[in-house]
Structure 1
Amino acid sequence: MRLVSIAFALGVLLLQLQGHLPPWSWLTLLLLASLGGAAAALRVRRLQQVGQGRGRGTHARWASLLLLACFAALAGFSWSAWRAGLALSSQLAAADEGRDFVVTGIVSRMPQNTALGIRFQLDVEQLDPAGPLPGQAAPISMPQRLSLGWWGGRRQGAVAESEERHRPVVHAGERWRLTVRLKRPHGLRNPGGFDAEAWMLERGIDATGTVRLAQERLSPFVIRPDTTIERVREAVRDRFLATLPAQDYPWGGVLAALAVGDQQAVDAGQWRIFARTGTTHLMSISGLHVTLVAGLVAALAGALWRRHPRAPLGLATPRAAALAGVAAALIYTLLAGAGVPALRTLSMVGVAALAVATGRATRVSRVLAAALLAVLLLDPWAVLAPGFWLSFGAVAALLYVGAGRVGHHASPTPEAVPAWRRRVRDELARFGLTQWAATWATLPLVLFFFQQFSLVSPLANAVAIPLISLVVTPLALLAALVPLDSLLWLAHGVLAPLMAALQWLADQPLSVWTPAAPPAWSVALALAGLGLLLAPRGLPGRLAGLVLLLPALSWPASRPAPGEAWVTVLDVGQGLAVVVRTAEHTLAYDTGPAWGETDAGERVVAPYLRTLGVDRLDGLVVTHSDRDHSGGALSVLAAFPVDWLVDTLPPAHPAHHFDVPRSACEAGLAWVWDGVRFTVLHPRPEALVPGVKPNRQSCVMMVEAGGSRLLLAADLEIPDEAAVVGRSGSALAADVLVAPHHGGASASSPAFVAAVRPAQVVFSAGYRNRFAHPRSEVVERYRQIGSVVWRTDRDGAIGFRLGPAGVTGIAERQRQPRYWATADEASAR
Structure 2
Amino acid sequence: MRTGMLALAVGLLALRFLPELPPGGWLFAGAVFGLMCLPFRSYPLAFFLFGLCWACLSAQSALDARLAPELDGRTLWLEGQVSGLPERDDGVVRFQLEDATARRAQLPQRLRLSWYGGPPLHAGERWRLAVTLKRGRGLVNPQAFDYEAWLLAQRIGATGTVKRGERLSAAVGPAAWRDALRQRLLAVDAFDRQGAIAALVLGDDSGLSRADWRLLQDTGTVHLMVISGQHVALLAALVYALVAGLARLGLWPRVLPWLPSACLLAFSAALGYGVLAGFEVPVRRACVMIAMVLLWRLRFRHLGVWLPWLLSLNVVLLAEPLASLQAGFWLSFAAVAVLAWVFAGRLGAWSWWRSWGRAQWTMAIGLLPMLLALGLPVSASGPLANLIAVPWVSFISVPLALLGTLALPLFGLGDGLLWLAGGSLELLFRLLAGIAAWLPAWSAPALPWWAVVLGALGAALLLAPSGVPLRGLGLALLLPMLCPPTPTPPVSRVAVTVLDVGQGLSVLLRTRNHAMLYDAGPRYGEFDIGERVVLPSLRALGVSRLDLMLISHADSDHAGGALAVQHGLAVGRVLSGEASALAPELQAAPCVDDAQWSWDGVRFTTWRWREAPEGNPASCVLLVEANGERLLLTGDIDAAAERALLNAKRAVQADWLLAPHHGSRSSSSAVFLKTVRPRAVLVSRGNHNAFGHPHPQVLARYRALGVAIHDSVEEGALQLELGAHGGIHGLRSEPRFWREK
* Bin for the TM-score computed over the shorter chain: over 0.9
In 1, the alpha carbon distance for the partners of 2:721 and 2:39 equals 53
The count of corresponding residues between Structure 1 and Structure 2 is 736
Name the residue aligned to 1:524: 453
Name the residue aligned to 2:59: 84
Equivalent in 218, 230, 243 of residue 276 of structure 1: 218
**AA partner of residue 191 (structure 1):** P
Name the residue aligned to 2:411: none
Unaligned runs of 5+ in 1: 42-66, 130-139, 153-166, 411-424, 824-829
In 2, the alpha carbon distance for the partners of 1:594 and 1:652 equals 16
1:507 counterpart SS class = helix
Equivalent in 635, 641, 657 of residue 564 of structure 2: 635
**AA partner of residue 22 (structure 2):** P
In 1, the alpha carbon distance for the partners of 2:362 and 2:194 equals 32
Q: Shift of residue 327 of structure 1?
A: 1.5
In 2, the alpha carbon distance for the partners of 1:244 and 1:188 equals 39
Name the residue aligned to 1:679: 605
In 1, the alpha carbon distance for the partners of 2:458 and 2:436 equals 30
Equivalent in 435, 455, 458 of residue 380 of structure 2: 455
Tell me, yes or no, if the aligned pair for 2:630 and 2:654 is still in contact at 8 Å. yes
- Equivalent runs, 1:723-738 vs 2, <5 Å: 723-729=644-650, 731-738=651-658
Matched, 1:252 2:194: yes
In 1, the alpha carbon distance for the partners of 2:727 and 2:193 equals 49
In 2, the alpha carbon distance for the partners of 1:436 and 1:513 equals 17
C-alpha distance 524-811 of structure 1, shift in aligned 2 (>3 A)? same
Q: Shift of residue 747 of structure 1?
A: 0.7
Range with bigger deviation, 251-260 or 204-213: 251-260
Q: Deviations over 1:652-704 (max 9, x none)?
A: 643x225x5x32113212222222222112232x43xxxx3310111111111
1:517 counterpart SS class = coil
Q: Deviations over 1:244-292 (max 9, x none)?
A: 58xxx34332222222222222221111111222222222222221111
In 1, the alpha carbon distance for the partners of 2:443 and 2:74 equals 45
Tell me, yes or no, if the aligned pair for 2:153 and 2:325 is still in contact at 8 Å. no
In 1, the alpha carbon distance for the partners of 2:448 and 2:276 equals 37
Equivalent in 713, 717, 732 of residue 638 of structure 2: 717
- Equivalent runs, 1:216-231 vs 2, <5 Å: 216-223=166-173, 228=174, 230-231=175-176
Name the residue aligned to 2:711: 791
Q: Shift of residue 361 of structure 1?
A: 4.5
Name the residue aligned to 1:298: 240
Tell me, yes or no, if the aligned pair for 1:602 and 1:635 is still in contact at 8 Å. yes
In 2, the alpha carbon distance for the partners of 1:472 and 1:276 equals 20
Q: Shift of residue 12 of structure 1?
A: 3.2
In 1, the alpha carbon distance for the partners of 2:676 and 2:254 equals 86
C-alpha distance 9-595 of structure 1, shift in aligned 2 (>3 A)? farther
Tell me, yes or no, if the aligned pair for 2:243 and 2:252 is still in contact at 8 Å. no
Tell me, yes or no, if the aligned pair for 1:682 and 1:701 is still in contact at 8 Å. no
Q: Shift of residue 193 of structure 1?
A: 0.9
Q: Shift of residue 220 of structure 1?
A: 0.8
C-alpha distance 578-127 of structure 1, shift in aligned 2 (>3 A)? same
Tell me, yes or no, if the aligned pair for 1:319 and 1:353 is still in contact at 8 Å. no
**AA partner of residue 269 (structure 1):** A
In 2, the alpha carbon distance for the partners of 1:293 and 1:562 equals 60
C-alpha distance 471-3 of structure 1, shift in aligned 2 (>3 A)? farther
Unaligned runs of 5+ in 2: 409-413
Tell me, yes or no, if the aligned pair for 2:366 and 2:463 is still in contact at 8 Å. no
In 2, the alpha carbon distance for the partners of 1:519 and 1:27 equals 31
Q: Shift of residue 316 of structure 1?
A: 2.1
Tell me, yes or no, if the aligned pair for 2:239 and 2:269 is still in contact at 8 Å. yes
Name the residue aligned to 1:827: none
Matched, 1:703 2:624: yes
Name the residue aligned to 1:54: none
1:561 counterpart SS class = coil
Name the residue aligned to 2:594: 668
In 1, the alpha carbon distance for the partners of 2:279 and 2:453 equals 29
Tell me, yes or no, if the aligned pair for 1:285 and 1:339 is still in contact at 8 Å. no
Matched, 1:182 2:182: no
C-alpha distance 320-199 of structure 1, shift in aligned 2 (>3 A)? same
C-alpha distance 599-486 of structure 1, shift in aligned 2 (>3 A)? same
- Equivalent runs, 1:802-813 vs 2, <5 Å: 802-803=722-723, 805-813=724-732
**AA partner of residue 115 (structure 2):** W
| TM value normalised by structure 2 | 0.94
Q: Shift of residue 356 of structure 1?
A: 4.9
Tell me, yes or no, if the aligned pair for 1:590 and 1:629 is still in contact at 8 Å. yes
**AA partner of residue 124 (structure 1):** D
Matched, 1:506 2:436: yes
Equivalent in 365, 384, 402 of residue 440 of structure 1: 365
C-alpha distance 451-708 of structure 1, shift in aligned 2 (>3 A)? farther
Tell me, yes or no, if the aligned pair for 1:795 and 1:813 is still in contact at 8 Å. yes
Q: Deviations over 1:276-318 (max 9, x none)?
A: 22222222222221111111233445677999999653x5221
Name the residue aligned to 1:390: 331
C-alpha distance 200-456 of structure 1, shift in aligned 2 (>3 A)? same
Matched, 1:657 2:599: no
C-alpha distance 738-431 of structure 1, shift in aligned 2 (>3 A)? same
Name the residue aligned to 1:402: 343
1:218 counterpart SS class = strand
Tell me, yes or no, if the aligned pair for 2:502 and 2:684 is still in contact at 8 Å. yes
| TM value normalised by structure 1 | 0.85
**AA partner of residue 448 (structure 2):** P
In 2, the alpha carbon distance for the partners of 1:289 and 1:728 equals 68
Tell me, yes or no, if the aligned pair for 1:151 and 1:168 is still in contact at 8 Å. no
C-alpha distance 30-460 of structure 1, shift in aligned 2 (>3 A)? same
C-alpha distance 627-177 of structure 1, shift in aligned 2 (>3 A)? same
Name the residue aligned to 1:427: 352
Equivalent in 262, 266, 269 of residue 325 of structure 1: 266
**AA partner of residue 720 (structure 1):** A
Equivalent in 233, 239, 242 of residue 187 of structure 2: 242
